[in-house]
Amino acid sequence: MDKRSTFLSQRADDSLFYHLFDHLPGVSFFAKNLDYEIVCANLAFLERLGFHDESEIIGKTDFELFPRQLAENFRKDDKAVMESGEPRLHIIELFFNPQGIPDWYITNKLPIFDHDKNIIGVMGTVQSYEGRHQAMQPYLQIDRAVQYIRQHFREHISISALSSMVKLSPRQLNRRFQETFKVSPQAFIMKLRLQAACEELRQSKLPIAEIAIDLGFHDQSSFTLQFRKQLGITPSKYRKSYR
C-alpha cells in the first residue's frame, strides 16, 4: 500500500476534508450519491441556498433546490460524469445569484470512487465569475507594488512611494496587503528578506554580516534580531544545522 492509500485508510470517518472549502472565499463544494442526493456540502453552498446547517440539505436533490431548467442541466452533467467516470471541468453556466442578479458560474465536477474503484457519486465546486474576480481584486490593485517589492526587497523601500505607485493611500495599501497576504507591506518585505537569507545561509559561505548588509539590514545585530524573532534561531545556528 502506498503512502497516499495508507494515509487515507487511517482517516477517521468523520474527518471532513471538504470543510477546507469553507476557507476559500466564494467557492461552493458539494457531493452527491448515485441517487443524485446531496450527501455533503460546505458553508458557501449552504449559504448560497439559504440554509444554515448541513443537516438541512442532506438527502435533497437539485430538483428540490433549484428551478427545474437548472436542475435538469445539473442532472445531465452529473449523469455524464458518473456514467463515464471522467471529470467535467470549467462548465460555464448562467443563472441568478442570491441577490437576483444574473451571474456566470464556473463549475467543476469529478466522479467519486469507492475502495473497489466503483463510482459511488459525484463531487464538485462552484464559483461565480464575479466572486472570483472580487476575491482577486485586492491582489490586482497592489500587483504593481508586489512586483516592485519582489525585485527590490534588498533595497530600502518607501511605503509612501509604494502607495503612490498604485494610487492608494498608505492606509489603503496596508489594508489591501492585509486582505491579500494577511500581513502589512513591511512584514511582506521582511519575509522576503528572511527567505533570501535562509537561501544564502544554506548555500553560500559569505559572512553573516555581509549577508545582512546585502539584504538591506542596517547591521548584523538587527539582522540577527529579526531572524531569531521570525525563525526562533540565530543565523549562525541555522547555518550550522545545514553543515
The tens place of each residue's pLDDT in the chain, 243 residues long, gives 567 667 666 666 666 677 777 777 778 999 999 999 999 999 989 988 889 999 999 999 999 988 777 788 899 999 999 999 999 998 877 665 665 555 678 899 999 998 888 999 999 999 876 666 666 677 778 889 998 998 899 999 999 999 999 999 999 999 999 888 888 999 999 988 998 898 889 889 999 999 999 999 999 999 999 999 988 889 999 898 876
- Report the topology of domain 186-243: Arc Repressor Mutant, subunit A (1.10.10)
CA-wise closest residue to 43 among 32, 54, 58, 33: 54
Residue type, 240: K
Does 15-132 match 186-243 in CATH topology? no
Residue type, 218: H
Classify domain 15-132 by CATH number: 3.30.450.20
Measured between alpha carbons, how far is 191 from 189 in angstroms, rounded to an integer?
Answer: 5
pTM: 0.59
Whole-number pLDDT of residue 33: 94
Structural domain boundaries in the chain: 15-132, 186-243
Whole-number pLDDT of residue 179: 83
Q: Is 237 helix (H, G, I), strand (E, B) or coil?
A: helix
Whole-number pLDDT of residue 24: 76
Bridge partners of residue 110, in order along the sequence? 123
Q: Is 24 helix (H, G, I), strand (E, B) or coil?
A: coil
Measured between alpha carbons, how far is 63 from 72 in angstroms, rounded to an integer?
Answer: 8
Burial 65-96 (b: 16+ CB within 10 A, else e): beeeebbebbeebbeebbeeeeebeeeeeeee
Q: Is 119 helix (H, G, I), strand (E, B) or coil?
A: strand
